Amino acid sequence: MTTKTQHRLTFFTPKSTDSNGAIFIDSGISAGFPSPADDFRETRISLDEELISNKEATFFAKVSGQSMIGAGLDDNDLLVIDRSLEPKNNKIAVCFLDGEFTVKRLRVEKNEVWLQPENPNYPIINITEDNDFVIWGIVTNVIKKI
């Protein structure tokens, strides 16, 4: 069975820093009426501490493609992937399928596994015993540039 490549992932290693994190304004940023500037407090936040629960099993990868736009995963987004999490129905997973990495929503029904894109222009992939298939990790967060 041949499958059209819908999503390629480029694995990414962030540069390590010795900083204590970026400045975090914990009062919230108003999307309505502005709040007085003297009402906010400034603290520091580490995205590693906020986004990663298992450092040894967590990886980053950049998305390439459009098959998951309905799930909010766009071209060049940075995925946070945890390999220690158990794959479950409806989770978004990074999978190794027939020699390529792809990211899709898992659909597990009875004894069948399907990889569901979140874009109607891409086909659903039914995993069979003929496929070289591994669920590599579960996507826990996505980081976007705007």
Active site residue 67: yes
Which one is catalytic: 30, 35, 67, 84? 67
**Cα–chain center distance at 54:** 15
Contacts of 59 (CB under 8 A, 6+ apart): 11, 81, 83, 137
C-alpha 53/C-alpha 58 separation (Å) is 8
Record the tokens describing residue 24, joined without a space: 């975090």
Which one is catalytic: 62, 104, 110, 144? 104
C-alpha 76/C-alpha 71 separation (Å) is 14
Are 27 and 41 within 8 A, CB to CB? yes
> What's 58-115 look like in SS3?
EEEEEEECCCCHHHCCCCCCEEEEECCCCCCCCCEEEEEECCEEEEEEEEEECCEEEE
Active site residue 35: no
- Residues with catalytic roles: 67, 104
